[in-house]
Amino acid sequence: MQQAPVKKKKKIRVPRVVNGVETTVEIEIDDEGGPGWGPNDKHALLNHYLTRVDGPLKVSGIAEYTYDKRVPAMLYGRLLRSPHAHARVIKIDVTDAQRMSGVKAVISITDKPAQDTSAGAGTKPAEPRDTIVHFAGEPVAAVAADTPEIAGDAIRAIKVDYEVLPHVVRADDAMKEGAPKVYPEGNLEPRDSQGLATKVAAAWEKCDVVLEAEYRTPTIHHACLETHGHMVDYSGGETATVYASTQGTFTIPGDAAKELGLKESNVTAIVEHMGGGFGSKFGIGVEGALACRLAKQVKAPVKLMLTRQDEFLLAGNRSGSWQKFKAGVNRDGSLVALQALQYQLGGLGDGSQAGQPYIYNAANRYRERFAIHTNEDASRAMRAPGHPQASYAIECLMDDLAYKIGMDPVEFRKKNLTDKVYHRQLDRGAREIGWDRRNKTPGSANGPLKRGIGCGVGTWGGGGGPQCKVDVTIARDGSVMVAVGTQDLGTGTRTYTRAIVAEELGLQLTDVIEKIGHSNLGAANASGGSTTTASLAPAVKVAANKARMAMAEQLAPLLGSVKPEEITFANGKVTGAGKSLSWRQACAALPSAGVTARGEWRADLAASGVHGVCFAEVEVDVETGRVRPIKMVHVQDVGLPLNRLALESQINGGMIQSLGMALWEERVMDAKLGIQLNPGFGDYKLPGCAEIPELVAIIDDEDTREAVIGVGEPAIIPSVGALANAVFNACGVRIHDLPITPDKILMALTNRRTTA
C-alpha cells in the first residue's frame, strides 16, 4: 500500500483577537501553495468599485437586524441598573413587579444561579447573597414582560436597598493617597516597561532641545446605531436559537448554552445584519446572559435589547489615556531621547494603549505603562484599540518638537521614520492638502478666522489566520452559492465574498449568492483587529478555485482533448480546446448534486502590516473658540483592495470617527455622585452631517503586495493627531486634552496673552 506523501509544515506568526484586542501567536501550518491572486491591476471585479450587494435591502428596510426579530409568544426584557458607583446591595424587593399584569419573569443579582444537573433542568428557588456593585449602571435586576412598556414599568416597581460605599471615578483622584480602593490591591496596576531609563537619563546632555509635555484623551463611547442585545428563541426542550447583534457568530452558542443549560451543539446563533460594533460586541455579555436566564425561567422567547441609556452606561467604551513625556532632539531633527509614562484609563478594566514612541525611532528610549482603575464601566476594544490614544500623543509631541527647532513637521517625521513607505505617503498627502500653505509659525495668520494644517502617521497589523471554512457550491441550474458562518458588520463582507467567487468563475456579482451569519455554516473568526478579511478572503479564494477545478474535471471530456487546468472561465463562458459552452450549458453537464468545494486559509494569500498618514485643515475662530474642519486627506496602503468603494468608505468612516474624538466626544462624569452626566445622544456630541469636511480617501496603489490585508482599524489612527496639530497650527496654542472645545481654546489664548 502506497503511503500518502507527508505534507511539509512551517511555522508562522498570525494575529489572534480576544474580545477585539489583537495579540500575535505562532502556529504551524501546511506549507502548501496554489493559485495566487495575481497582479493587483489585472482583476475583472476585485480592486474595482463594487456597489454593496446588501445596499438595496438596507435602504428599503427589508434587512432584518436583531432588533427587528419577532416570534410568536415573544417577551421583552429590560434591565434595572444601579444608580451608585459603588454600593452593597442589601435587599432587592421584586414583589410589586411580579404582581403586575403582563410580567412573566423577574430575576436579580441576589438570586443564586441554579445548579443544573441536566440539560434543560429547571431553576431552584432563589437564595439571597451579599452583592457589591462597582459602577453606576451595573445591572442589578431584569424582567421579561408582554410589552416593552410593561417591562419598563416593572423595572421601576423594583425596590433596592443599597449601602453606599466610597467611590472614585477620576484618574487624578484615584492616584491620591487615601483614595477609595477599586480593587483590594489598589488603583494603580503596572502593565509593562521597555528600554533603559539609565541610558535615557544620560542622553539629555546630548540633546540640543529638551521638551516636557503631557497629553490626555477622554473616555468615549462606541455609539453603535443598533444597541447591544439578543433575541433568545427558547421554549423549553433541548435546542435554542439566539439572534445576536454581535461581531462573532461563533462566540454566541457556547455562552448561551451555559446560561440555558444546553449542549453547545444544540444552540444556533444567527447574525443576519447588525448595526455596528466597533469592538464592543463579543460574546453574549451581561445583557445576553440575563436574556437567556429569563427565557429559561419562563420557557418562552425573550428579546432583550439595551436602551440607549443602558448602552452608554454599561456596554463598554474606548479607554481614556494620560501620557507624560520628556523628549530631546538635535537641531538636525534627530530624536535623541524619549521617556514616557503612560496611564491607561479603563475604569474597572485594563484599558489599552500602544507603547511609545509608537512608530518613531528614538536613539534612547524608556517607557512605563500602568492601568489606573476607577469605579466606571470597564473599557472594551474600540476600533484600533490603544492606537489612536498613542498616535495622538506622539503626533502632538512630534509637532511641538519640530516647531521648537524650526523644522518642517513633515521633514521632521521623515527624519525619524526609517520605513520609506511613510516618506512616500507623507509626500503624497502633503501635495494633496497643499502643505506649503500652512502657517510657518503657528497662529500667525491674520484675522479672527485662522486656518491651519496638521498631519499624523499610523500603523496596524490587519493580518489573518486559519479559522475560516468556506463552501462554494455550483448547481446544475447555474446558480452559485458561497457559504460561511461569518458575520458582516456592514463593512462589505457579503460583497467581496461574492466578488471573489464570481471572478474565479468568470461571472458577475449577481450570478453568485452568499449565505452567512449562521453558526451551522463553516467556522469563521470574530470580526476584530481587522482580521476578518485577511482570514476569510483567502479561504473563499481557495474554495472558489477548488470548485472551478472540480467543475473543469467534469467538463474536460465534453470539451475534447484538454486538461482541466487548461479550461478557462471568463465572461460567462467555459472554454477549452477551441470549444466554448455558456455557463448554463456547462452547469447542465454537472452531476445532479452539482459540485461543492471547501476552502481554508492559505498564508500566502494574506499579509499584515499597513501604513497610513492623514493631513487635516481646520479653521479656528479665535473670538469664539469654534473649530470648523475644512478638509481631511488620508493615504492608506492595503495590499490588494478587494472593493475600492468599500475601502474608501472605511477610510472616510475612520476620519469621521476621529473628528468626534478630537473635537466633540467625551464622557462627562460627576465626581461626587459617580454618575455619567451625558448618557444619550442629546448630550453626547457626535459629528453631524453639517460638520463633515471635504474627505479625500487615497488608496496607495504603490503598495503592490498581491495579498489581502484588513483595513478597518487604521483609518482612525493618525487622523486624531492630524486634527489636533491643525488646530495648533491655526491658532498657535496647544490643547493638551481632548476634545478640543471652544472653552479650552479661549482659555489657552487668554493665558498666552496674560503671560506674554
Tens digits of residue pLDDT in 615-654: 999 999 999 999 999 999 999 999 999 999 999 999 999 9
* Pairwise CA distance, residues 620 & 629, whole Å: 9
Q: Using CA of residue 139, residue 141, residue 145, residue 150, what is the dihedral sign?
A: negative
> Residue 119 has what pLDDT?
32
pLDDT in tens, 236-248: 999 999 999 999 9
Dihedral over alpha carbons 117, 123, 127, 129 (to 10 degrees): 80
pLDDT of residue 278 exceeding 80: yes
Extract the C-alpha cell encoding 423. 516618506
Instruction: Specify the residue for cell string 466578488.
Output: 499
Per-residue pLDDT tens digits for 724-739: 999 999 999 999 999 9
pLDDT band at 753 (very low <50, low <70, confident <90, very high): confident
What pLDDT shows up at residue 6? Answer: 57
What is the reported pLDDT for 88? 97
CA distance 727 to 616: 9
Cα gap 210→93, rounded to integer Å: 62
Taken in order of first residue, the domains within the chain and their CATH numbers are 9-55+464-605 (3.30.365.10), 69-166+228-314 (3.90.1170.50), 184-220+318-418 (3.30.365.10), 420-458+607-756 (3.30.365.10)
Mean pLDDT of 270-287: 96
pLDDT of residue 616: 98
CA angle 57, 58, 61 (to 5 degrees): 85
Instruction: Give the model's confidence band at 14: pLDDT under 50 very low, under 70 low, under 90 confident, else very high.
Output: confident
What is Dmax (Cα atoms) for the chain? 92
pLDDT, residue 262, reads: 98
Q: Which pLDDT value is given to residue 129?
A: 46
User: What is the phi/psi pair of residue 245, to 5°?
Assistant: -90, 90
Strands 21-30 and 188-195 come out as unpaired
How far is 487 from 459, CA to CA, in rounded Å?
25
- Strands 595-600 and 364-372, how do they pair? unpaired
CB 482, CB 597: distance < 8 Å:
no
From 267-276, 517-526, 545-554, 557-566, the region with the lowest mean pLDDT: 557-566
Q: Tell me the pLDDT of the chain averaged across its residues.
A: 94
User: ω before 693 within 30° of 0 (cis)?
Assistant: no
Report the predicted TM-score, pTM, of the whole model to 2 decimal places.
0.94
Residue corresponding to grid cell 463611547: 221
Across the range 133-160, mean pLDDT stands at 98
| pLDDT digits 0-9 by tens, 30-50 | 666 789 999 999 999 999 999
pLDDT at 403: 97
Judged against a pLDDT cut of 60, whether residue 122 lies above it is answered with no
pLDDT for 448: 97
Q: Does residue 517 surpass a pLDDT of 50?
A: yes
What is the amino acid identity at position 732?
G
Q: Are 555 and 489 in contact (CB under 8 A)?
A: no
Q: Please tell me whether residue 18 adopts helix, strand or coil conformation.
A: strand
Mean pLDDT score, 587-606 = 97
Per-residue confidence (pLDDT) for residue 1, from 0 to 100: 43
pLDDT for position 118: 30
Q: Quickly tell me which residue has 442589578 as its cell.
A: 140
